[in-house]
Structure 1
Amino acid sequence: MSLYLEAAAILESPQTTSLKAIIYNPSKPFKSPQSKLYALIVETLKFQDILKEVVENAGILKLERKLTPVLSILLTHDLLLTKSGIATSSGPLKDAILRHKARLNAEFTRVRLRRGHGDVKSLVEAVNAEHTRESEDGVTKTATGLTTFNPRWVRVNALKTTLGESLASPTFSAFQEVGGMSDMFFFDVVRKYYYPKAELLPNIFAIHPSHDITSSELYKSGKIILQSASSCLPAIMLDPPKGSTVVDGCAAPGNKTTHLAALVGSSGKVFAVERDKRRADILERMIMKAGAEGIVTTLKATDFTTITEGHPAWQASYLLLDPSCSGSGILQRIDWDISKLNLPSSDVSSGQPSRKKRKRDEASQKGSRSQPEEQVPQHVDDEEVQDSDTSKERLQSLSDFQVAIILHAFSFPNARRITYSTCSIHAEENEHVVARVLNNKIAKERGWGVQSREDNPLSTWHRRGLVGELSDLRVSSKEQQRVADGCIRVNRTDSLGGGFFVVCFIRQVDDEGQLGGDIGNLDVALAQGNESLSQELGASIEAGDQEWNGFSDEETNEAVPAADDPQLGKGKRRKSGKDQKARTEKINKRFQKNRKGWS
């Protein structure tokens, strides 16, 4: 019965984020399988108007005091609309429904016939067609009246296939290319269109969010990855050459890591650093599914700031840093609005409610009026409004941690390029961090600066950094403008999957091709109190990270097969996974916990 009780608890709680996020990223784990919980709630929401009418006409709430309105429609749904019936053994709640099975079936038949459907199949098809787009059609109006499109972005995994092969596959062969994002929206029927932006996003294209491709062979085999376009920008901007060595300093859950692996190819090497063991386990499954286990070495239970001389990753030339941030740029999709649940009343069949019931209802309504914010959560898309739970103190703490991460990356002896990114719209985590690290003596002595706009692969993107937020950068106003132009901002209204910031730091090279500065006697621990800042990493496990769901920014961790999943293949691939694990363990066992450096 826990399935129905947990579903009822979710439906009776205020909704502040998407239903998928509530179920698949809970603060406390559910007893019930998450996929079953999600399916039960979604299907009940689809049929809620019909179920309300059936329950009210049958009058069972007046007769069964143990049943709540929410439980009544959940249980009635499974009784009437699933082949297996109510998914639980006998108990008081199930018995309360089964006692009225004949009456509920009779009322369901009347409801179906009144809607003009000769059989149950016809009714189900009609309801499914009505909810094809769920309540998320991919078009949002912001608080300022702007229209933004929220498509589903697909990244082709170049380790396993090509863009042409993917588009020619059964999954996409019927899709037609369109020249603009808006061409996929505003139709009475969702059409099979895709929108590429090749000059900015190679091997990446958008489709309407109603198209569910997670059951396709392409997705299950790791040939395509659902990843927001904005989170693809750091790897594109880093642009590591084929065969190069790259470090992903904050790697889990693995979307950016596998993107890097595809860019450096089979002759390259990626060190994926993850401090949290649970997230590192997810990271390894992602790597296996993407076919990147021969390229990526996972550094589990490793703090990026402890990688120093002697570690093989210390010689990397390219680093990608996407550390913990406020997550203020993340789009909070409300895929199903449970706040508008249409529940049955227990008083319809009796005509007059009891006095006891009326008093309880009046008290409940009075309580609701006193706290309207909790009952009707507000959803704001205004780009300039800060998250209500993001304090200046929290932003400063995150900023300090982000600065420490970058300064440590600056000390890598062979580093040539470093990208720093956040899914935040706050300048404290973006331009202010850039100014702080460039003002630091480490950057000056090592020859680090911001790559100019004309030199980076994303030069055509129109929205750049905010020069007004670089006033603390101790350079000329002309140089401040150049630095701002080298930074990229993505607003939540830009249709790339959420607010984002990314900048590429480059190291000066002299006439003989030598990198600027040398390691000298610089303290590689860096950045004032690095111990406490490392602890901040442990406390900030990126609960709001837009990529927490792994290969799909929208799907669940359950969609990622375990390392021994038969879909991953047998023989050679399985063997390579073991080789990768052995290689990882060999490196990790040298790591001394709670110490800087390596043994």
Structure 2
Amino acid sequence: MSLYLEAATILESPQTTSLKAIIYNPAKPFKSPQAKLYALIVETLKFQDILKEVVENAGILKLERKLTPLLSILLTHDLLLTKSGIATSSGPLKDALLRHKARLNAEFTRARLRRGHGDVKSLIEAVNAEHSRESEDGVTKTATGLTTFNPRWVRVNALKATLEDSLSSPTFHTFQKVDGMSDMFFFDVVQKCYYQKAELLPDILAIHPSHDITSSELYKSGKIILQSASSCLPAIMLDPPKGSIVVDGCAAPGNKTTHLAALVGSSGKVFAVERDKRRADILEMMVTKAGAEKIVTILKSTDFTTITEGHPAWQASYLLLDPSCSGSGILQRIDWDISKLNLPSSDIASSRPSRKKRKRDENSQESSAPRPEGQEAKQMDEEIQEDDASKERLQLLSDFQVAIILHAFSFPNAMRITYSTCSIHAEENEHVVARVLNSEIAKERGWRVQNREDNPLSRWHRRGSVGELSDLKVSLEEQQRVADGCIRVHRTDSLGGGFFVVCFIRQVDDKDRLGGDIDIGNLEAPGQGNEPPPQAMGGSIEAEDQEWNGFSDEGPNEAVSAIDMTDDDPPSGNRNRKKQKQKQKQKSSKGQQGMTEKTNRRFQKSRKGWS
């Protein structure tokens, strides 16, 4: 019975990622075989409308109190639609259903005939056909909840293979190129074809999601990597030259890290920072599989904000930041929307029309009757509290994201930094951009958003929202330029989910020198003194990469300005002043480390769904 109980538990839980990810990458292993669990849930979802009708008309939920609506349709599915029947030995739940086997079979026959199918095979074929039709943008639109959004995206790993070699391999040699994304979904039977947008996504292919290539030699050897197109945008936008030193500040599970390694090549260096040991182990496996172990240095159990002067990564010129976020954009990846499950009601006693009609009338009268004032007030209070909690969580995430970027701004040789989220909320996107550009360190070191025309992704049509940059303390013209420099990806863009990415660059002077310098001790944690306890985070940051903790809520450390640290002091008292400033600098460094350590304890991530 564990198969059905575990399936019911999955269907009852909030869905934060794809059904496959929930089942095949669980936080806690299932007792049931994963393939059986996935098949049971998917097939039940396909037939849920029919199963709901059968269970309700049979009236078994009113007679068998031990059966829940979820368990009733799961068990009824296997009883009526599988050759082997219910996959469990005798027990109270199975016995409860079998007591009404004849009634369930009779109602199933009536439901099948009402739909015009002479036998069960015809009904099954019709339901399967309904779920195989794809719309132009790759989204299946049915009333039963199937929401397969985008194609399967494949990145060719340039460290091990070329695009031409991959397309001529046994995996893809029979695939035909199509001119448009939607062309892959216009066939009654899925065709072997691929789509490529080379000018935007070099070495990246899209294929139909039904094509499973995980058993191919290309995938097993690390020559190709399954990675959503939106996830490839930060590395493409960063565009580090060959031989560059790059930091991936939020590295696990490693797709972006290995993408960076492919871009900088064997003469480059990538520092992959990962604070969580378990995720660092996954990152290490990914890097090894991609053949990037000589390029990538994995900084295990390391907080990005602890990288300061003296650390090898401190000299990096390019930084990629994809920190923890709300994950609101990753709903695009859901292939089966279990939130739309259509469950039977225990109120309907039989299939006789007169009784059903009376019941519907009663329900209609009940729904139209005014609810008590206290009940309405209570529901309104709950909605307000939920909304406030959501805003509070977004504010916490935004503060954390700002802190990460401000620390990256302090890297002395940094020339370009990309910041990205898989969020659709402006609080984590344009608002963060405005806040960091308003900061003192951004102004003193010359950080700004890169012009749209200067970036490899300049041809992407969807840009940032200028209306969300009203807090940016610049002219309207400059706000528009900043918005044009930001990229937004909508769920309907077929790149793998909602996404945001922006590239910050350092202003240079007439002599092609980078902007001024600023001591990291002068940085002030955003929202200091106002952060609620970590429990307010809600314990559900659902994003692909969940890594870093922000600065603490303590006040800024005592710092030494760049002017005070020069060697141009007058001879008189120079030695004493230098010693005093050295002590001051050491105190600032220790204070910064203490602030980071405390913050690491405050911002403890909680992961659900994604791995």
**TM value normalised by structure 1:** 0.71
Give the aligned partner of residue 464 of structure 2: 465
Give the aligned partner of residue 301 of structure 2: 301
Cα distance in 2 for partners of 1:423, 1:318 equals 21
1:175-195 deviations in Å (ceiling 9; x for gaps): 322222333344444433322
Would the aligned equivalents of 1:252 and 1:282 in 2 still touch at CA under 8 Å? yes
Give the aligned partner of residue 413 of structure 1: 412
Residue 151 to residue 31, structure 1, CA distance change in 2 (3 Å): same
Would the aligned equivalents of 2:61 and 2:67 in 1 still touch at CA under 8 Å? yes
Give the aligned partner of residue 195 of structure 1: 195
Offset at 1:406? 1.0
Q: Which amino acid aligns with 1:165?
A: D
Give the aligned partner of residue 545 of structure 1: 543
Cα distance in 1 for partners of 2:90, 2:134 equals 33
Cα distance in 2 for partners of 1:530, 1:299 equals 28
1:413-443 deviations in Å (ceiling 9; x for gaps): 2212111112233333223322322232212
Cα distance in 2 for partners of 1:78, 1:213 equals 30
Give the aligned partner of residue 230 of structure 1: 230
Cα distance in 1 for partners of 2:244, 2:292 equals 15
User: Superposed, which structure 2 residues align to 1:369-388 within 5 Å?
Assistant: none
Cα distance in 1 for partners of 2:326, 2:209 equals 26
Secondary structure in structure 2 of the residue aligned to 1:404: helix
1:32-87 deviations in Å (ceiling 9; x for gaps): 45544222211333455777799899998899775556435534555676687654
Secondary structure in structure 2 of the residue aligned to 1:436: helix
Equivalent pairs counted in the alignment come to 529
Give the aligned partner of residue 523 of structure 1: 521
Would the aligned equivalents of 2:437 and 2:443 in 1 still touch at CA under 8 Å? yes
Give the aligned partner of residue 261 of structure 2: 261
Give the aligned partner of residue 566 of structure 2: none
Give the aligned partner of residue 325 of structure 1: 325
Cα distance in 2 for partners of 1:344, 1:195 equals 45
Would the aligned equivalents of 1:305 and 1:525 in 2 still touch at CA under 8 Å? no
Cα distance in 1 for partners of 2:21, 2:370 equals 28
Cα distance in 1 for partners of 2:279, 2:20 equals 19
Secondary structure in structure 2 of the residue aligned to 1:418: strand
Would the aligned equivalents of 2:193 and 2:207 in 1 still touch at CA under 8 Å? yes
Q: Which amino acid aligns with 1:330?
A: I
Would the aligned equivalents of 1:466 and 1:484 in 2 still touch at CA under 8 Å? yes
Cα distance in 2 for partners of 1:351, 1:107 equals 11
Determine if the alignment matches structure 1 residue 184 to structure 2 residue 205: no
Q: Which amino acid aligns with 1:543?
A: I
Q: Which amino acid aligns with 2:408?
A: A
Q: Tell me the percent identity.
A: 80
**TM value normalised by structure 2:** 0.70
Cα distance in 1 for partners of 2:265, 2:255 equals 16
Determine if the alignment matches structure 1 residue 404 to structure 2 residue 398: no
Would the aligned equivalents of 1:176 and 1:192 in 2 still touch at CA under 8 Å? yes
Cα distance in 1 for partners of 2:56, 2:109 equals 14
Residue 515 to residue 368, structure 1, CA distance change in 2 (3 Å): farther
Would the aligned equivalents of 1:137 and 1:209 in 2 still touch at CA under 8 Å? no
Offset at 1:409? 0.6
Cα distance in 1 for partners of 2:67, 2:106 equals 20
- Structure 1 spans left out of the alignment, 5+ residues: 142-147, 372-386, 549-590
Would the aligned equivalents of 2:44 and 2:77 in 1 still touch at CA under 8 Å? yes
Residue 56 to residue 513, structure 1, CA distance change in 2 (3 Å): closer
Cα distance in 2 for partners of 1:269, 1:534 equals 38
Residue 364 to residue 176, structure 1, CA distance change in 2 (3 Å): same
1:78-113 deviations in Å (ceiling 9; x for gaps): 567668765445533345567899999999999999
Q: Which amino acid aligns with 1:182?
A: S
Would the aligned equivalents of 2:399 and 2:527 in 1 still touch at CA under 8 Å? no
Give the aligned partner of residue 284 of structure 1: 284
Secondary structure in structure 1 of the residue aligned to 2:270: strand
Would the aligned equivalents of 1:234 and 1:419 in 2 still touch at CA under 8 Å? yes
User: Superposed, which structure 2 residues align to 1:97-108 within 5 Å?
Assistant: none
Secondary structure in structure 2 of the residue aligned to 1:330: helix
Would the aligned equivalents of 2:332 and 2:496 in 1 still touch at CA under 8 Å? no
Residue 307 to residue 541, structure 1, CA distance change in 2 (3 Å): farther
Q: Which amino acid aligns with 2:403?
A: A
Give the aligned partner of residue 250 of structure 2: 250
Residue 75 to residue 298, structure 1, CA distance change in 2 (3 Å): same
Q: Which amino acid aligns with 1:192?
A: K
Give the aligned partner of residue 273 of structure 1: 273
Cα distance in 1 for partners of 2:533, 2:270 equals 25
1:462-519 deviations in Å (ceiling 9; x for gaps): 2333334434434444443333332222233333233322221122445665433345
Residue 342 to residue 594, structure 1, CA distance change in 2 (3 Å): closer
Would the aligned equivalents of 2:134 and 2:185 in 1 still touch at CA under 8 Å? no
Would the aligned equivalents of 1:411 and 1:524 in 2 still touch at CA under 8 Å? no
Residue 349 to residue 458, structure 1, CA distance change in 2 (3 Å): closer
Offset at 1:203? 0.9
Looking at CA atoms only, which structure, 1 or 2, has the larger radius of gyration? 2
Cα distance in 2 for partners of 1:201, 1:542 equals 31
Offset at 1:401? 1.7
- Structure 2 spans left out of the alignment, 5+ residues: 142-147, 372-385, 547-592, 600-611
Cα distance in 2 for partners of 1:535, 1:271 equals 31
Would the aligned equivalents of 2:393 and 2:537 in 1 still touch at CA under 8 Å? no
Cα distance in 1 for partners of 2:389, 2:136 equals 26
